[in-house]
Amino acid sequence: MANQTLVRHVNERRLLAALRLEGPQPRAALARRLSLTRAAISDMVEDLLSRGLVVEIVSARTRGRRDVGRPGIDLGLRADGAFFLGAEIGVGVLRLALSDLAGTIVDTRSLPLGPADGPARVVALMAESLVQFGARAAYRGRIRAVGVTVPGLVRRDGHVVNLPILGWRDVPLARLLAEALAVPVHLANNANAAAFGHIHLKARAPGEVSVYLKLGTGCGGAVIDGDRLVRGADGLGTEFGHIPIAPSGPACHCGQSGCLETFVNIRALQRYFAHEEVDEQEADLTLPARVAERAAAGDPAARGAIETIAQHLLQGLVIITNIFNPSEIILGGAMLPILPALAETLEDRLANRIVPGMTRPRIVVSRLGPFECAIGAAAMAHHEEFDLSNVDLAG
């Protein structure tokens, strides 16, 4: 009986994933896809209909036609059947994004965080926010899970090992959130979440490898190989920002010198453009937009700063590409305003520096905007509760 229950659970997730990725389909097509009998698919669909997760709709193939009798009926997701709250704990801000069952973002908001706001305050804000979202009639009783992301090292069990930019170390954040929230909680590094958000709404081609770099106050990284997120033995892997590219370079908060992130983050941009050395907490988050505007107007200082970032980033990308042979490299993060210019100049240069014969990866800019980590966290919560299709987050 237990095995039958597990098989049904897996098939439900496969069905919901197929509807999310491919749109409404007839029951017969879903039965063939899942290798189920007509009776089994009907029983499963009736259960999903009763739980408000799917809906029957008139098929687009017969809608509006007069030469048919009974119109065809397809099965589709009921987008408002469940919701997932994603949260990014960032520098000075808590960003929240609410997604529906179809993966569409239906609400976003930002809350300020002060320098003294530690884990307890952030957990309290998360609990308050969940209550506020849940009080709205459209979402009441339908928020099924919460995903949370932080800009630091997070173990597989949701324990924050080190979060130097916020001054957190050895924090059992997943446990604290689970105790404060009335729904399942899933915790991840912010780059992993952003990468997952980028691929969540599209079907993955076999063998496709995506590398994601989050450029902002630091430089986070993630790799998705086929349909699996590569995280390492403890979940702490792909820390691309700490690839050493110049041993005599600036000191990094990790204790080493010359790490990639010290050459490509916002502090580095401030150093190249304004010739200012600032502490991590004093990094000007508005600078990338100003530099992008000045560069578009032809300012040589702004263009020179972007070019310097590109030269250093190229060194890291050559190493990453030679190791992972990605089909695409996604650039995201708070440096977003200058990223299109970086992507444009890097692709050809990278092709000339990688191992001969290796296919040149396409370099794209994340389309998710400033809420990309919160969106990715919501997508991860959605995946953990309802999906088997894209990334096995426990793998």
262-274 per-position pLDDT tens digit? 999 999 999 999 8
Q: At 215, which amino acid appears?
A: L
User: Pick the residue with more confidence: 12 or 314?
Assistant: 314
User: Pick the residue with more confidence: 141 or 204?
Assistant: 141
- What is the C-alpha to C-alpha distance for residues 118 and 39, in angstroms, rounded to an integer? 54
Q: Which two tokens stand for residue 241?
A: 């920002």
The rounded percent of the chain whose pLDDT value lies above 70 is: 93
pLDDT, averaged across the chain: 89
Q: 64 pLDDT exceeds 70?
A: no
pLDDT band at 378 (very low <50, low <70, confident <90, very high): very high
Range ranked top by mean pLDDT from 113-117, 196-200, 299-303: 299-303
Span 231-249, average pLDDT: 90
Lowest mean pLDDT across 15-19, 304-308, 331-335: 15-19
Q: 110 pLDDT exceeds 60?
A: yes
pLDDT for position 70? 56
Tell me the pLDDT tens digit for each residue of 77-101: 999 999 999 999 998 899 999 999 9
pLDDT for position 177? 95
Please name each of the domains of the chain with its CATH number: 2-77 (1.10.10.10), 81-196+373-386 (3.30.420.40), 207-367 (3.30.420.40)
Span 111-123, average pLDDT: 93
pLDDT for position 1? 40
- What is the C-alpha to C-alpha distance for residues 150 and 105, in angstroms, rounded to an integer? 20
User: Look-up: residue for tokens 């992301």?
Assistant: 149
DSSP labels, 367-390 = SSGGGHHHHHHHHHHHHHHH--SS
pLDDT for position 391? 38
